[in-house]
Amino acid sequence: MNKALRILGVLVLLAILATLALRYVPVRLTPPNEALAADWKAEPGRGEYVMRAGDCMACHTADGGSPMAGGRGIASPMGTIWSSNITPDKDTGIGNWTLDQFRAAMVDGVSASGAHLYPAMPYENYRFMSESDIRALYGYLMTEVKPVKNEVQATQLSFPFNLRFGIRAWNWLALSGDSAFKAASSDALQSRGQYLVEGAGHCAACHSPRTAFMAQDGTRVGDANFLTGGVLDGWDVPALRGANAPIQKWSTAELAAYLATGRNAHAIANGEMALAIEHSLQYLSDHDLSAMATFLKGLDGQAVQDVPTQVAMPGPRATPAADADQAGQATAKLLTAASPDMPLGARLYLDNCAACHFVTGKGAAEIFPELQGNTMALGKDPGPLVSVILNGTAVPSTDRRPMRLVMQGYADRLNDEEVAALASFVRSAWGNQASAVTPQQVAKARSAKHGE
């Protein structure tokens, strides 16, 4: 036989063996990362708290459906993945699952049937949760959630993504070896924050970039790209660390307030982040919110100041509108003078936006976000900014701050040229420095219809 043919034969044989191995060699499950007594019991309320920290309800509840009964479609580049029923119903939920089977789903992404779960279920992050939290969560789902019979629509992706055993190979590339928590700091508060951010909070699922295999590039503190910014539905997700991350200019207390309420003196959360706050983060204790803020502020080794003991204190917040600062003075003067030959973008801002965001671009703390230095306004990709101008947006409503203020959209009032001029103005006013926006980019955002 000729040599090339022989090599080809060996390769084909290896490919067949690899496929069979992927399919039939049993998966080695990750053991518990903490030794607990068999009769260990979580304190009352802990399981529900872990569920909130992990945001299980958001993905596992369909619009108008029963809590945790599944059937919410999660969009992925490969197609829609339907979330499972995780109520304790014995036929259609996880009522017959053992603790070990539940841990396998959370830590290794393996269902009780042995099938591999799609990583739309964020086990890349949940694997760092402690055994005690996993047991508390299991206890909560099994005993405190109402069993609901609901056969969830089967996920049907196209070939080769329909071959679930292929996810096993992906897991070899994507999952970092063990699941033990490794505190990066000796400070107890920062460690608690690290634990929540890396594990249950699954912040890296959106705030870390992705590798060529679509795995999270950076799931833990030591990873170079951890929380350096990601992409979601084609939109940039802000970096949370590094000198250029806007939140590193916020105080620790302001960052904690943002996580608790989606608003502070600088920004207001939109889209997926608003949902994460409404469904999950707002339920965390002041201690845990401070812990996460302290961890994020200290992530690159900075000293952390003004650690809050109480987050987003209630009380009158009607702070007077701030004066323009040095960088903002020229723009404020231009807008205040309102001369007839003002450039188009500035005039549109004055007519449509200044009533709320003010000529200073400073907005009003917790009510109208600051546009000077604003992450969304300055984004490399102007898509989110243009989309907010076109479609409007609403402030998240939380227990600590229930009022839901709304900004209406301008899609019907402004054409593509006008929105481009306005967005370009916002990106260059008050010392802002970001690229100009073209009418073509506006047209694209208009047809994309991204919404909340």
Residue (324 or 437) nearer to ligand HEC, CB? 437
Whether residue 279 is annotated as binding a ligand: the answer is no
Under rule CB under 6 A, residue 270 binds ligand HEC: yes
- Smallest gap from Cβ 188 to ligand HEC, in A, equals 18
Q: Does 353 bind ligand HEC (CB under 6 A)?
A: yes
What is the secondary structure of 272-314 as a DSSP string? HHHHHHHHTGGGS-HHHHHHHHHHHHTTTS-------SSSS--
Q: Which DSSP category does 21 fall into?
A: H
Q: Is 184 in the site for ligand HEC (CB under 6 A)?
A: no
Residue 260 in contact with ligand HEC, rule: CB under 6 A: no
Rounded CA-CA distance 296/410 in Å is 35
DSSP conformational letter for 106: I
Question: Candidates 24-32, 118-126, 319-327, 337-345 — which segment interacts with ligand HEC by CB under 6 A?
Answer: 118-126
| 317, 366 Cβ separation under 8 angstroms | yes
Asked if 292 contacts 193 with a C-beta cutoff of 8 angstroms, the reply is yes
Residue 56 annotated as lining a ligand binding site: yes
Judge whether 287 is annotated as a binding position: no
Q: How many residues does the chain have?
A: 452
Q: Which of 42, 62, 69, 120 binds ligand HEC (CB under 6 A)?
A: 120
Which region, judged by CB under 6 A, interacts with ligand HEC, from 3-11, 35-43, 333-341, 366-374?
Answer: 366-374
- Please give the backbone phi and psi of residue 293, each rounded to the nearest 5 degrees, phi first: -65, -45
Residues of this chain, 1-40, that bind ligand HEC according to CB under 6 A? none
DSSP bridge pairs for 79: 76
In the complex, minimum distance from the CB of residue 252 to ligand HEC, in angstroms, rounded to a whole number = 11
Verify binding: residue 376, ligand HEC, rule CB under 6 A: yes
Closest approach, Cβ 53 to ligand HEC, in A, equals 8
**Which candidate, 234, 297, 248, 263, places its Cα nearest to that of 405?**
263
Closer to ligand HEC at the Cβ: 59 or 253? 59
**Annotated binding-site residue? 202:** no
Q: Is the dihedral of CA 36, 40, 43, 46 positive or negative?
A: positive
Q: Are the beta carbons of 409 and 390 closer than 8 angstroms? A: yes
Min CB(160)–ligand HEC separation in Å: 15
Q: Is 368 among the residues that bind ligand HEC (CB under 6 A)?
A: yes
Which listed residue (142, 426, 429, 442) binds ligand HEC by CB under 6 A? Answer: 426
Stretch that binds ligand HEC, among 52-60, 181-189, 328-336, 430-438 (CB under 6 A): 52-60
Residue 377 binds ligand HEC (CB under 6 A) = yes
- Give SS3 for 45: coil
Terminal Cα distance for the chain, rounded:
63
CA–CA gap between residue 60 and residue 152 (Å, rounded):
11
Nearer Cβ to ligand HEC (122/298): 122
Which one among 132, 248, 329, 352 touches ligand HEC, defined by CB under 6 A? 352
Tracing tokens 């309420």 back to the chain, one arrives at 261
Q: Residue 291 interacts with ligand HEC (CB under 6 A)? A: no
Residues in contact with ligand HEC, counted by CB under 6 A, come to a total of 73
Does 81 sit near ligand HEC (CB under 6 A)?
yes
176 near 220, Cβ under 8 Å? Answer: yes
Gap between the Cα atoms of 384 and 82, Å rounded: 26
Q: Which stretch binds ligand HEC (CB under 6 A): 212-220, 336-344, 372-380, 443-451?
A: 372-380
Burial grade of 392 (CB within 10 A; 0-12, 13-18, 19 or more): middle
Residue 177 DSSP one-character state? S
Tell me which stretch binds ligand HEC (CB under 6 A): 2-10, 26-34, 58-66, 435-443.
Answer: 58-66
| 247 lines the binding site for ligand HEC (CB under 6 A) | yes
Binding positions:
56, 59-60, 203, 206-207, 353, 356-357
